[in-house]
Amino acid sequence: MSLEDFTVSESLLLTIAILGGTGKEGKGLAYRWAKAGYQILIGSRSSEKAVTTASQIMELLEGSSSVVGTTNLEAAGQADIVVVTVPYSAHRDTLESVKDVLKGKLLVDVTVPLIPPKVSKVQMPAAGSAAQEAKEIVGEDVEVVAAFQNVSHEHLLGEENVECDVLVTGTSKKARAEVLKLVEATGLTGWDAGPIENSVVVEGLTSVLININKQYGSTHAGIKITDVPKRSPD
Amino acid sequence: MSLEDFTVSESLLLTIAILGGTGKEGKGLAYRWAKAGYQILIGSRSSEKAVTTASQIMELLEGSSSVVGTTNLEAAGQADIVVVTVPYSAHRDTLESVKDVLKGKLLVDVTVPLIPPKVSKVQMPAAGSAAQEAKEIVGEDVEVVAAFQNVSHEHLLGEENVECDVLVTGTSKKARAEVLKLVEATGLTGWDAGPIENSVVVEGLTSVLININKQYGSTHAGIKITDVPKRSPD
């Protein structure tokens, strides 16, 4: 099945909740996925804020898509795929507040465990990474995949070509393959980067990129995988 | 000072020891650095093997450079910069065996803590990374920098253009700057990737790249940093 088939047929059946979707990361992803045909639920602690953000995105899209704002819990409950884009300080609370409605769903964690003020230094939680911590919180019946941590999300809110690949780690190859479809739908290039234990690399890479921005005066350093002739996984 | 100035004048004064230099990683680096004008000491547990490797590299270089084989201890004792390119299983023993002659020197750690058979899964030592473990072993008077973990070293043994950037982490900005000069001397592009705590990302990236090679049928996946207009650090 090609991406085109996917976005036209299968994706219409899928609803994606974006928890913390009023932040710039969530907005950018919501915009790209809504455009590709997914049903989007913007979640927030305040449903009012979520409704405002949903309207803003609908305006950008000129109305042809479905973006609805509600609470994090409502959004997670109604969605097939639940994406977390909250600051690390709200990561645990957000997951605890929705974990009862996640059973059997796919959780996509975009969180980077940055601990201010040393955001250019890798500082992982005891679980090993934010994604592994998420897995501990949500339990056995939820597949957890980490992705999109290295992308400058404001670039997603538009037609711009984003010069950054997406490394996808997660609890199973099948779950990673699902998220690779979501990456393609945003127009970016995704890579199966292995098991959930590899999330430390991808989350930590954000601190490395922040460090490079600081040292070299750039603002949106990214990464590209090189020297891989074939693009589809075996 | 430009790279040209560096390789012509300053580098002639510098001697680099490559511990475990009979392996393919060490040979590739030795070849490129010898070519750039550095004095190279190939170290090995067996000085006989080191002498053989040194001759092989001298042959490739057609004799115009200085590459000498000896024991790890001798090499480390005589060098200004000491590079470790041993398999992770020999990492601690090698460092313990030379630590008394490292005081005041710069240690460059190329080691990736791969633990067979799961080499595509990130598995870091208790210290956080091989480089941090090296720092614990060699103590306060030695600067430790991690670099070159993601490069396919057999590519270095020739004139080939290597499509992989080098992320450089380490105990001080000054030490990282020194190693960035060594990266330039190999013809690769290096980046200051921050403090030694960030080594987990760069070492772990090797497992991610191994995973990508496995999934996508490639053999030499690498990374490039994108969207950084300016190349020299502030």
Q: What is the pLDDT of residues A158-208, one digit of tens each?
A: 787 888 999 999 999 999 999 999 999 999 999 999 999 999 999 999 999
- Inter-chain touch B122–A201, beta carbons under 8 Å: yes
| B64 has a chain A CB within 8 A of its CB | no
| A225 has a chain B CB within 8 A of its CB | yes
- Inter-chain touch B223–A221, beta carbons under 8 Å: no
Q: What is the pLDDT of residues B192-214, one digit of tens each?
A: 999 999 999 999 999 999 999 99
- Flag whether pLDDT at B50 surpasses 70: yes
| A46 has a chain B CB within 8 A of its CB | no
- Inter-chain touch A233–B218, beta carbons under 8 Å: no
Residue B74 C-alpha, separation from nearest chain A C-alpha, in angstroms: 35
- Flag whether pLDDT at B8 surpasses 50: no
| B218 has a chain A CB within 8 A of its CB | yes
Q: What is the pLDDT of residue B7?
A: 44
Q: Which of A191, A215, A226 is facing B192, going by the closest CB pair? A: A215
- The mean pLDDT value of chain A amounts to 91
Q: What is the pLDDT of residue B52?
A: 97
127-186 of B, contacting A, C-beta below 8 A: 163-164, 167, 169
Q: What is the pLDDT of residues B64-102, one digit of tens each?
A: 789 999 999 999 999 999 999 999 999 999 999 999 999
Contacts of A192 in chain B (CB under 8 A): 211-212, 215-216
pLDDT range class, residue A13, cuts 50, 70, 90: low
pTM summary value: 0.91
Chosen for mutation from A226, A231, A232, A234 (greatest number of chain B CBs closer than 10 Å) is A226
Strand partners, A75: none
Q: What is the pLDDT of residues B127-141, one digit of tens each?
A: 999 999 999 999 999
Q: Which of A193, A200, A214 is facing B200, going by the closest CB pair? A: A200
- Flag whether pLDDT at B57 surpasses 50: yes
Contacts of A162 in chain B (CB under 8 A): none
Q: What is the pLDDT of residues B160-169, one digit of tens each?
A: 788 899 999 9
Chosen for mutation from B189, B205, B219 (greatest number of chain A CBs closer than 10 Å) is B205
**Between A63 and A117, the higher pLDDT residue:** A117
